[in-house]
Amino acid sequence: MKRLIQHGLMFGNLFHVASPALVERYNRALQHLTGKTTALTDFHVDISGYSPEIGDELGDDLYLNHAGVNRQFILLSTEQKRSPLLNEKFSVNRDILRRFISDNERQLFALTATDAVAGELVNSVFEIDTPARLFDIHKIEIEADTTKGTLRHAEHLSDLVDRFKGEDDAWFDDVLIAEMINTAKQTGDITRNPVKLKHEAFQQDNYWTAHFGGLYLFQGVEHPAIIASGEKPRGELPIKYVFDMEERNRIAKFLDYNGLTEPVVKARGVDGAAILRQKMDFIAADALAAKGHDLTGMHRSKLRRLTAKHAHDLPEEYEGLAAMVRWAESGGRWPRISSDHPAYFYSLRAADTPDRNLVNMLLAELSPLDVRQLFICHKTLFYQQYRSWPEEKKAYVVHFLANEYAVDKAGARDALFGHEPDMSGDDAPELPRAMPKVRSRERMIDRVGPWGAVARERKR
């Protein structure tokens, strides 16, 4: 994993904590939340304040996320909103934290100037011992305050001020006035600088969780289902459909029935054939690396020449995508590719729905040879699979991600997903989508394209 770290592909964009003041504030918050402190004077934290160095020091990677539920957080700076979330247990947690920081940026900037803000993502479940408990999670709320209780004192002072304004004899109440003065010393003038955070409740119906081997839970769609990365969860569940990753036809129908995906070559404003060709390169690199070919720093043209020489070693995924590219570019014979074909899910991307991030995450797991999508959409699985790759593939993938993808992350994500938000922490402006050049070609895709089989089956 050192190669990933050296190229900024792992633990990248973490917030550096090095000043004595920040370390002292972090320790106060850590003591407040967990009863522990760190002896380190230089470390890095993610968006939640989790530090991999401190996790190693304490021998506990979940020191801010006990049992993987109700994640705690420590904010030292609003700059943490640009950081990733490490050891992710729920796919929605980073989005919730980032939105909380963005919605309260001015207030948090002022609070973190002198203290750390500590808090917790709270739901009604404190332990997930069975898969059925996941269905008890519907809403996430954020509880937060500084280690000195600034927000709590500000709320108390606000109540005192209301009493002072509302009671007829308040001017003669020396105890009330003294309490107001003492509280104001801790909060400052809340009439000029109100100290209050927006606490929004976040609905959580559709999400991925790392619990029970990895589960994608879709409750808030027309046709709900659970999709398991490993074995199907056991026990009675309040949902009718439960799939595992081997049930490709059923997953394809689920995605289609709920309108969650679209074919890459049908998507507006993108060069679908070029995207499929890049996926073909990743698939070829996997096959060539398995044969011991050195792919370090290999350019695309050279890789494709080497691929042509070893065409007999290429898997079905490659051949299926190649047929799609030929059909998309020349309008030749359309490939008969059903949802159980290995290339099928490589040909899809998430439709423009509120669940597009989750769907792209699921598609990344269903098409693991597309290392770029795996890295962007499902880093947990990317790092897990990276450990088992041959050195030749590791070198190729790291070189590609560091020298091609990292050069223009936003551009690459826009080209791939179109409507995907910028995951770096900066909201990129939404780009206008180009209208399709030939509308009749879209109708032909619906009628006879490689995805027509799913549509026809749905009509039946």
pLDDT (0 to 100) of residue 346: 94
Interval 264-280: pLDDT, tens: 877 666 678 889 999 99
Residue 113 pLDDT > 60, yes or no? yes
At 83, the pLDDT band (50, 70, 90 cuts) reads: very high
> What distance in Å separates the CA atoms of residue 155 and residue 431, rounded to the nearest whole number?
42
Residue 61 pLDDT > 80, yes or no? yes
Residue 248 pLDDT > 90, yes or no? yes
Question: Residue 441's Cα: distance from chain center in Å?
Answer: 34
Interval 163-211: pLDDT, tens: 656 677 766 667 666 765 666 666 654 444 456 787 677 888 899 999 9
Q: DSSP states of 332-351 as a string? A: -PPP---TTSTTGGGGEEE-
Q: Angle at the Cα of 159 (from 155 to 162), degrees rounded to 5?
A: 135
- Residue ranges covered by each domain of the chain: 15-203, 206-417
Question: Looking at residue 230, what DSSP letter applies?
Answer: S
Q: How many residues does the chain have?
A: 460
At 160, the pLDDT band (50, 70, 90 cuts) reads: low
The pTM score is 0.81
> What distance in Å separates the CA atoms of residue 363 and residue 368, rounded to the nearest whole number?
8
- pLDDT, mean of residues 330-350: 85
> What distance in Å separates the CA atoms of residue 197 and residue 271, rounded to the nearest whole number?
44
Residue 419 pLDDT > 60, yes or no? no
Interval 286-299: pLDDT, tens: 999 998 898 887 88
Closest by CA position to 255, among listed 232, 227, 234 = 227
pLDDT (0 to 100) of residue 449: 40
Spatial contact of 341 and 331, defined as CB atoms under 8 Å apart: no
At 247, the pLDDT band (50, 70, 90 cuts) reads: very high
pLDDT (0 to 100) of residue 159: 60
pLDDT (0 to 100) of residue 198: 77
Please provide the average confidence, as pLDDT, over all residues in the chain.
82
